[in-house]
């Protein structure tokens, strides 16, 4: 069983279903459009901000504001890529064709992650430049200190969110269950935990909060986050590894269904 064959086969699978196109294009459009909108609004609001807020003003991070919503489409992409196998019963055909379950899972994740990476990176650069366009005089330049790191990091963040979702879906199998947990978690719960002072210290170790640190260039005043941009992305990567490892172990042990 050559891994190259399986990777090709997974590529055929992913390009031959409509959900790939609509989830990824939604991620692109929502991230960019919302990023541009919030950048434009922020520019108009800048003069009304207090001195503290003006000092913390981070044009790069603001242009990534659409990520909070766009990542949900990335989550749907990651969940569907894996859970489609189970909801359609295709998993039996897949594992009969590729009985080495590790080869099957990692080929699938490699293909879907590579696609998420390309789309995520392109989205990240586009959202940065278009966002800066909206910010006018307040704009950051790609050459400024830490900006390129933030933009590349934005692409990595989107990729890791997708991969995390794939790992969770590999554990839970059902698309409804996976989305029912991941969507509210990333859209609501994580934000609530991160903004309530009692849970803030725990909240910032959640995958999205730790990971999104990489998109910041200006550190907010009085910031006491115990990790830097790459440290945050590292924390997120640990979550991803845990989810994928869990998915692999369960796939290996369970009957195919």
State the residues that interact with other proteins by CB under 8 A: 1-2, 5-6, 8-10, 12-13, 16-19, 84, 88-100, 255-257
The span from the CA of 52 to the CA of 243, in Å, is: 39
Is 81 or 151 the residue whose CB approaches other proteins more closely? Answer: 81
CB 105 within 8 A of CB 248: yes
Residue whose entry in the numeric block shows the structure tokens 């609501």: 188
For 12-25, the DSSP string reads HHHHTSHHHHHHHH
Q: How far is the CB of 250 from other proteins (least distance, A)?
A: 13
Other CB atoms within a 10 A radius of the CB of residue 80 amount to 24
Q: How far is the CB of 176 from other proteins (least distance, A)?
A: 16
The span from the CA of 124 to the CA of 122, in Å, is: 5
Q: How far is the CB of 153 from other proteins (least distance, A)?
A: 34
Other CB atoms within a 10 A radius of the CB of residue 2 amount to 8
Is 90 or 221 the residue whose CB approaches other proteins more closely? Answer: 90
Is 47 or 255 the residue whose CB approaches other proteins more closely? Answer: 255
Q: How far is the CB of 249 from other proteins (least distance, A)?
A: 14
Q: How far is the CB of 165 from other proteins (least distance, A)?
A: 19
Residue 167 to residues 11, 109, 141: CA-CA distances in angstroms?
Answer: 18, 9, 36
Element (H, E) at 133: helix 101-135
Is 13 or 173 the residue whose CB approaches other proteins more closely? Answer: 13
CB 204 within 8 A of CB 194: yes
Q: How far is the CB of 48 from other proteins (least distance, A)?
A: 49
Is 8 or 201 the residue whose CB approaches other proteins more closely? Answer: 8
The span from the CA of 46 to the CA of 40, in Å, is: 10
Is 5 or 54 the residue whose CB approaches other proteins more closely? Answer: 5
């Amino acid at each position: 069983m050559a891994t190259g064959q399986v990777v090709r086969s997974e590529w055929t699978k992913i390009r031959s279903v409509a959900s790939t196109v609509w989830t990824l294009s939604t991620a692109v459009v929502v991230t960019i459009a919302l990023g541009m909108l919030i950048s434009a609004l922020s520019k108009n609001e800048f003069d009304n901000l207090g001195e503290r807020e003006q000092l913390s003003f981070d044009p790069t991070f603001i242009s990534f504001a659409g990520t909070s919503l766009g990542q949900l489409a990335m989550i749907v992409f990651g969940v569907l890529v894996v859970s489609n196998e189970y909801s359609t019963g295709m998993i039996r055909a897949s594992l009969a064709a590729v009985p080495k379950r590790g080869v099957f899972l990692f080929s699938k994740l490699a293909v879907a992650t590579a696609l998420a990476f390309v789309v995520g990176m392109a989205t990240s650069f586009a959202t940065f430049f278009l966002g800066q366009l909206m910010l006018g005089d307040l704009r950051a330049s790609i050459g400024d200190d830490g900006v390129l790191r933030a933009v590349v990091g934005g692409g990595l963040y989107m990729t890791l969110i997708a991969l995390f979702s794939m790992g969770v879906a590999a554990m839970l199998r059902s698309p409804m269950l996976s989305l029912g947990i991941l969507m509210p978690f990333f859209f609501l719960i994580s934000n609530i935990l991160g903004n309530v002072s009692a849970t803030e210290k725990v909240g910032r170790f959640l995958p999205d909060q730790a990971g999104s640190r990489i998109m910041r260039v200006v550190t907010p005043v009085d910031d006491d986050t115990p990790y830097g941009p790459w440290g945050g992305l590292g924390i997120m990567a640990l979550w991803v590894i845990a989810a994928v490892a869990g998915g692999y172990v369960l796939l290996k042990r369970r009957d195919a269904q």
